[in-house]
Amino acid sequence: MGGGKKRPTVSALEKRMKKGAEGKKEEGGKKPQMKLSGSTGELTELSLEAVVKDIKGLKYITPYVLATRFGLKLSRAKRVLRELESRGVLVAVDKNSRVPIYVPAGK
């Protein structure tokens, strides 16, 4: 019933390696992504200030937006948003159990 998958030939492997090497060179031109330091899970004042500075220009902020911009887990992004709301930096527009939506307080 079909058997196993055919092994690639030597020339096919060489082509694949060549394409992989070219692809890695092109990746250098991507937009640098901001990362929050500290893998312990604690958010420092410095990292919170970086978040505040970055989200001021956005129309809206969700946990997913924050997680993708800073490389955070969604649970940590939710915690950051709740903390910023308690400080008055963000205002909750729509809150439900799944996706809270925030806007910057100045808007």
Q: What is the CATH number of the domain that holds 67?
A: 1.10.10.10
- As for how many domains the chain has, the answer is 1
Would residue 2 count as lying in a domain?
Answer: no
Which residues are CB-neighbours of 96 under 8 A, at least 6 positions away?
Answer: none
Would residue 83 count as lying in a domain?
Answer: yes
Can you give the pTM of this predicted structure? 0.58
At 21-69, the pLDDT tens digits run 877 666 555 544 455 555 555 567 777 888 888 888 899 999 999 999 8
Would residue 38 count as lying in a domain?
Answer: no
Q: Residue 51: give the domain boundaries.
A: 45-104
**Mean pLDDT in residue range 89-104:** 91
DSSP letter at 36 equals -
Quickly tell me which residue has 């394409």 as its tokens: 19
Would residue 97 count as lying in a domain?
Answer: yes
Would residue 55 count as lying in a domain?
Answer: yes
Would residue 56 count as lying in a domain?
Answer: yes
Dihedral of the alpha carbons of 12, 17, 18, 22, in degrees to the nearest 10: 140
Distance (Å, whole) CA 107 – CA 89 = 11
